[in-house]
Chain A
Amino acid sequence: MIKAIIWLHVLRFWRLRYSFLNMIVSNAMWVLLLILGVLLFVPRSQLPYALKSAYWTIACWSVISSFSSIVGGWTNFFISLGMVEEHMLRGISPFLVISGRLVVASLVSVVTIIFMGALVQSLFSIPLFDIRPEIALFSFTLVSVESLLYSLLVSAISMRSSISEQFLEILNFAVIGILIVPISVIPEGLRIFYLSIPYVAPAYILKVASGSEVPDLLIIATAISIIEAIAFLLIALLAVRAAESHIRRNGARAIGFY
C-alpha cells in the first residue's frame, strides 16, 4: 500500500512537472526579492553574516511553507475529488494518502533550497553552503517532521470544519518574522521561552550549522525540538483519529480549505 501511495505521488509529480518547476523557480525568486530588500540596510562589512543568517532562516521557512501548502493544501483537492470515502471504503486511511505528499514536498523543498542558494551565492559571491552538514540535515529532518505533522493536523481539522487558506498563509508568513530574529537580541532569561515557540528551535539549530548563531543553546534546542515533534505527533494522531471516526459516522462534508 505504501508503495502504491509513493507511486501515485511520484507519478503526479512527473505529470505536473512544469507546474512544480514553476513553483521552485517562483519560490526562489520571491526569496531573492525579499533578501535584496533586507540587504539594502546592511553595511558592506556585515554582509556575509547577514546574508547567511537571512538565507538559512528563509530556507528553513521555505520547508515549513512548502509542507503546509503541498501537504495541507492538497486536502481540498483530495476531498473535492471524492477520494476520502473511496479510500475509507477500501480500508485505507485518507491521511496516509495525504501524508504521501511528503515525497513531493521534500523534493520541492530540496531543489528550491539548492537553486535559491546557488542563485544568491553567485550574486553576492558569499559562500552559503559552507555549513556543518550533519547538523543541518538533523535540523531539516526535525523541521520536515514538525511541518508534516502540522499539515496533517490542519488536514484533519479541515475534514470537519472550514479552514481559510488566507489565514493559514498569514500564519505561515508570521512564522518567518519570528524565525528571523537572532537569539542574541532576545534577553537571556527569555531565550528558552523563545526556543519553545514551534519551529524556532530547529531553525536555531540550522543557523548554528551555518555559523550565523553561537552554539551555546544547541543541546537545549535539540531537546526542545524532539519534545515538540513528539507533541506534534500525538496531537496530529488524535486529530486524525477523531476526524476518521467523525467521517465514518457522519460522512465527509467536503469542506476543506476555501
Chain B
Amino acid sequence: MSLIALFKSGVFLDLYFVKNNRANLVSFLLWPYLMLILMLGAGFLFGSTQSFRSNVGEDVDPIVFFVSSTLIASASLSVMWDVGGAVLLHRWAGTLPYVLLAPYRTSIILVMAYIPRYILWSFIQLAEFLPPLILRKGVDALIIDLPILSVSLIVGMLPLLGFSAIFASILLVTKEESNILSWLNPIILILSGAFYPSYLFPLWARVISQALPTTHTFELARLSALMSAPGVREVILIIGILLGMSALYNALSYTMLGKAEERALGSGSI
C-alpha cells in the first residue's frame, strides 16, 4: 500500500460520504453562514462598526474580519476534530485494530487520509465566502485577499495536523468511548483569538496563544480584513512562524503517536 493509495482512499471516502449524506453536505455549507450571521447580527444589534474599530484598534472591515475568522475557525475545527477525533471514529466503527496493524504508522494514516478532505472542504468554504468578500471589498481586492486566505488555509493546516495528532495519541491511550477532549477545541479557538483578537487578552493568555499554531493562522487570514494592503514582510514572517511550528509539532506528534500506538498494542486496549 503506497502513500498515494492512502491519499486516494481519502478522496473516495469523502466523495462517497457526500454522495450518501446529502443532509450533511447541506448542513456543512450552511453552518459557517449561520455562525457568521449570528455573530454579525448580534454585534450590530448591540453595537456598531465604529465601536468595533475602536475596540480592535485597527482600521478593519468587521464583515471581512469575521468572514476570515469564520473560515479559519471552521477549517481549524475540522482538522482538530477529524485528525484528533479520528481515533474515536475508528474505535466506534471497529476499524481501529486495522489502522493500528496496517504497515504505515497511525499518524501517517490519519494525516494522509485526511488531507484530501481538508483541501476539498476548506476551499469549498472559501468559495462559499467569496460573495461577501466581493461585496465588501470589490473584485480587485481579491487579487490580494484570495492568495492570503488560500495560503492561510494551506500553511495553517501543516502545524495543526501535528498538533491535532498529539490529541489523537492521548485518545488512543485513554479508554473512554466518547471524546473527552472536545472541550479543548473551543478553548484553543478562544486563546487563538478566533473572534476576539489575542492581543487584547491578559499577558498569561497571550503567552499561551503564541504557542498555538491557530493564532498565527488567524493573524495571517485577517490581514485580508485590513482596509490598506498588508505588508509583504508581515506575511512572510507569519508564514515562517507557521512552517517552524509545523516541523516542531509534526516531529512531536510522530513520536507521541508512535508511543501511544505501542502502548495500545501492548495493553490490548484497541
Chain A contacts to B: CB under 8 angstroms? 16, 18-19, 21-22, 25-26, 29-30, 32-34, 36-43, 46, 50, 53-54, 164, 166-167, 169-170, 173-174, 176-177, 180-182, 185, 258
Cβ contact of B38, chosen from A36, A46, A173, cutoff 8 A: A173
Residues of A near B176 (CB, < 8 A) are 18-19
Partner of B195, one of A26, A34, A181, A185: A34
Are A29 and B186 in contact, with the CB atoms below 8 A? yes
Output the nearest chain A residue to B37 by Cβ-Cβ distance.
A177
Among B26, B31, B187, residue most surrounded by chain A Cβ atoms (within 10 Å): B187
Task: Identify B181's interface contact among A22, A42, A173, A176, CB under 8 A.
Answer: A22
In the assembled complex, how far is the CB of residue A165 from the closest CB belonging to chain B, in whole angstroms?
Answer: 8
Q: Is the CB of B190 within 8 A of A170?
A: no
B218 touches A (CB below 8 Å): no
**Interchain CB contact under 8 A, B27 and A50:** no
Asked whether, in the complex, the Cβ of B66 is within 8 Å of the Cβ of A37, the reply is yes
Chain A residues with Cβ below 8 Å from B194 are 33, 37
- The residue of chain B having its C-beta at the shortest distance from the C-beta of A167 within the complex is B23
Q: B46: which of A50, A169, A170 is its contact (CB, 8 Å)?
A: A50
In the complex, are the beta carbons of B34 and A173 less than 8 A apart? yes
The A-B contact count (CB < 8 A) is 114
Q: Which of A18, A53, A170 contacts B180 (CB 8 A)?
A: A18
A26 touches B185 (CB 8 A): yes
**Cα(A16)–Cα(B43), bound, Å:** 37
Q: Are B51 and A43 in contact (CB under 8 A)?
A: yes
Closest to A36 in B: B196
Cross-interface CB contact of B43 among A26, A33, A37, A53, cutoff 8 Å: A37
Contact assessment for B27 and A166 in the assembled complex, using a CB-CB cutoff below 8 Å: yes
Establish whether residues B190 and A32, one from each chain, have CB atoms under 8 Å apart when the complex forms.
yes
Interface pair A19/B178, CB less than 8 Å apart: yes
Given A33-B190, A40-B56, also A177-B41 (CB < 8 A): yes
Considering the complex, give the chain B residue whose CB is closest to the CB of A180: B42
Task: Report the nearest A residue to B34, measured CB to CB.
Answer: A173
Q: Which of A29, A37, A50, A182 contacts B39 (CB 8 A)?
A: A37
Measured between beta carbons, the chain A residues less than 8 angstroms from B31 are: 170
Q: Is the CB of A54 within 8 A of B24?
A: no
Q: How far is the CA of A214 from the CA of B62 in the complex (A)?
A: 30
With a cutoff of 8 Å between Cβ atoms, the chain B residues found around residue A258 in the complex are 23
In this assembly, does B45 line the interface, its C-beta being within 8 Å of a C-beta of chain A? yes
Contact B30 A177 (CB under 8 A): no
Q: Which of A21, A164, A181 has the most CB of B within 10 A?
A: A164
- Please tell me if the beta carbons of B182 and A26 are within 8 angstroms of each other in the complex: yes
For residues 17 through 63 of chain B, which have their beta carbon under 8 Å from a beta carbon of chain A?
23-24, 26-27, 30-31, 34, 37-39, 41-49, 51-52, 54-56, 62
A43 to B43, CA, bound (A): 11
Which residue of chain B has the shortest Cβ distance to A166 in the bound complex? B27
Q: How large is the interface on B (under 10, 10 to 19, 20 to 34, 35 or more residues)?
A: 35 or more
- Report how far A38 CA is from B182 CA in the complex, Å: 23
What is the CB-to-nearest-CB distance from A139 to chain B, in angstroms, rounded to a whole number? 20
Complex Cα distance A42/B198, Å?
Answer: 17
* Chain A residue nearest in CB terms to B23: A164
Are A42's CB and B51's CB within 8 A? yes
- Closest Cβ of chain A: how far from B67's Cβ, in Å? 12
Q: Does B80 contact A (CB under 8 A)?
A: no
| Given A19-B176, A41-B48, A42-B46, 5 new contacts (CB under 8 A) | A41-B49, A177-B37, A177-B38, A180-B38, A180-B45
B179 at the interface (CB under 8 A from A): yes
Interface centre among B42, B48, B62, B180 (most CB of A within 10 A): B42
Cβ of A33 to closest chain B Cβ, rounded Å: 5
Q: Which residue of A lies closest to B65 (CB)?
A: A40
Could you tell me the distance between the alpha carbons of A143 and B19 in the complex, rounded to whole angstroms? 38
Shortest 10 CB-CB contacts between residues of A and residues of B: A41-B47, A37-B195, A166-B27, A29-B186, A41-B43, A36-B196, A164-B23, A25-B183, A42-B47, A50-B46
Whether the Cβ atoms of A32 and B186 lie closer than 8 Å is: yes
Does residue B161 face the partner (Cβ distance < 8 Å to A)?
A: no
Nearest chain A CB to B139 CB, angstrom units? 27
A residues less than 8 Å from B30 (CB atoms): 170
Cα distance A179–B45 when bound, in Å? 12
Smallest distance from the beta carbon of A167 to chain B beta carbons, Å? 6
Q: Which residues of B contact A30 (CB under 8 A)?
A: 186
Chain B residue at minimum C-beta to C-beta distance from A177: B38
B86 interface residue per 8 A CB criterion: no
Question: Contact at B179–A22, with CB atoms within 8 Å?
Answer: yes
Residues of B within 8 A of A37 (CB): 39, 43, 66, 69, 194-196
